[in-house]
């Protein structure tokens, strides 16, 4: 693999990120120079506390959300935010749960079923032992995939297990993941690629109204059509079919809790 130097591009407003397609020119001495960046399709951005946007990856077609079952404990609202983001942006998403050896097997299966029941691919993976690693390989085969999730959940360990080269750090004594990947890394697969993204401490949809958020939660779409009020937020209104479905166990309580938190506490 040849490394290419980025030429200073007049008028260029952004730098290449993992997943970018670029035009490269080979010099007489064998060096390669990046001449320009091709127009991007999908981009994943993260905003700082000051509101500045930073593009993390480009041209991906699959979000592989990674959530630890323990150490650190699962943050399901972050997982559900990522899945909702995929729905809003019309990009496929999958669920990967890590560290199954640290969790109760029945609870792990129940959580996998929550997402499988709403038609997400969901896999429990232990990259250190190889458990279900082939299933994950099959899932991302031919895709331009991005590993995304909070710090410490095992994204870099998965990346390395699949053939990538990324540093892996420790988990603090408080059980909080220490972010070790400070810039996205791309590993080219036989067909497609895999990107290991930096940890996302806060991933929010920003301000989003109830109608749009309902559409971003697959299992809420159908019952929402049966609510008494067309502008129902599914939080406190009477004759709400969504709340009835939660009470009947037709919608997972954890997913509904995430919906409420995202709607009422936008980040």
Q: Residue 58: which CATH number?
A: 3.40.50.300
Instruction: Count how many domains the chain has.
Output: 3
Judge if 183 and 218 occupy the same domain. Answer: no
Judge if 147 and 16 occupy the same domain. Answer: no
Confidence of residue 202 (pLDDT cuts 50, 70, 90): very low
Judge if 89 and 171 occupy the same domain. Answer: yes
Is residue 202 domain-resident? Answer: no
Strand ranges in 30-172 using DSSP code E only, listed in sequence order: 32-37, 43-47, 53-58, 62-68, 92-98, 121-125, 144-148
Confidence of residue 203 (pLDDT cuts 50, 70, 90): low
Is residue 86 domain-resident? Answer: yes
Judge if 76 and 125 occupy the same domain. Answer: yes
Higher pLDDT, 209 or 195: 209
Is residue 203 domain-resident? Answer: no
DSSP state of 220: G
Q: Measured between alpha carbons, how far is 210 from 201 in angstroms, rounded to an integer? A: 24
Using the 3D structure, point to which of 137, 171, 196 is the last residue of a domain. Answer: 196
20: containing domain: 4-37
7: which 2 tokens? Answer: 């030429």
Judge if 179 and 54 occupy the same domain. Answer: yes
State mean pLDDT over 128-151: 92
State mean pLDDT over 172-176: 31
State mean pLDDT over 14-31: 77
CB 185 within 8 A of CB 166: yes
Confidence of residue 35 (pLDDT cuts 50, 70, 90): confident
Q: Is the pLDDT of residue 51 over 90?
A: no
Q: Is the pLDDT of residue 76 over 80?
A: yes
Q: Is the pLDDT of residue 174 over 90?
A: no
Is residue 78 domain-resident? Answer: yes
Judge if 8 and 140 occupy the same domain. Answer: no
CA 59, 53, 91, 72 dihedral sign is positive
Q: Is the pLDDT of residue 154 over 80?
A: yes
Judge if 183 and 257 occupy the same domain. Answer: no
Q: What is the DSSP string of 182-203?
A: -S-EEEE-SSSEEEEPPP-S--
Judge if 147 and 77 occupy the same domain. Answer: yes
* The pLDDT of residue 59: 84
89: which 2 tokens? Answer: 């942006």
Q: Measured between alpha carbons, how far is 119 from 99 in angstroms, rounded to an integer? A: 23
Confidence of residue 226 (pLDDT cuts 50, 70, 90): very high
CB 220 within 8 A of CB 214: yes
């Amino acid at each position: 693999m040849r490394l290419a130097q980025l030429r200073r591009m007049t008028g260029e407003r952004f730098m290449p990120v993992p997943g970018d397609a670029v035009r490269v020119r080979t010099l007489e001495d064998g060096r390669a120079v990046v001449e320009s960046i091709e127009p991007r399709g999908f981009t994943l951005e993260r905003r700082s506390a000051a509101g500045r946007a930073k593009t993390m990856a480009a041209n991906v077609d699959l979000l592989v959300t990674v959530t630890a079952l323990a150490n650190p404990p699962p943050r399901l609202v972050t997982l559900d935010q990522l899945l909702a983001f995929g729905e809003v942006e019309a990009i496929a998403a999958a669920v990967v749960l890590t560290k199954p050896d640290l969790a109760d097997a029945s609870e792990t299966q129940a959580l996998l079923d929550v997402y499988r029941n709403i038609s997400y691919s969901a896999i429990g993976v232990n990259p250190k032992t190889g458990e279900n690693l082939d299933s994950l390989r099959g899932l991302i085969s031919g895709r331009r995939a991005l590993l995304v999730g909070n710090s410490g959940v095992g994204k870099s360990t998965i990346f390395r297990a699949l053939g990538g080269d990324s540093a892996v750090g420790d988990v603090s004594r408080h059980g909080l993941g220490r972010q070790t990947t400070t810039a996205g890394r791309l590993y080219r697969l036989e067909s497609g690629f895999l990107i290991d993204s930096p940890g996302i401490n806060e991933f929010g949809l920003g301000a989003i109204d109830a109608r749009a958020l309902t559409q971003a939660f697959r299992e809420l779409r159908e019952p929402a059509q049966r609510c008494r009020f067309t502008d129902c937020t599914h939080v406190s209104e009477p004759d709400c079919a969504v709340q009835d479905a939660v009470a009947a166990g037709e919608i997972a309580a954890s997913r509904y809790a995430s919906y409420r938190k995202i709607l009422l506490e936008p980040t």
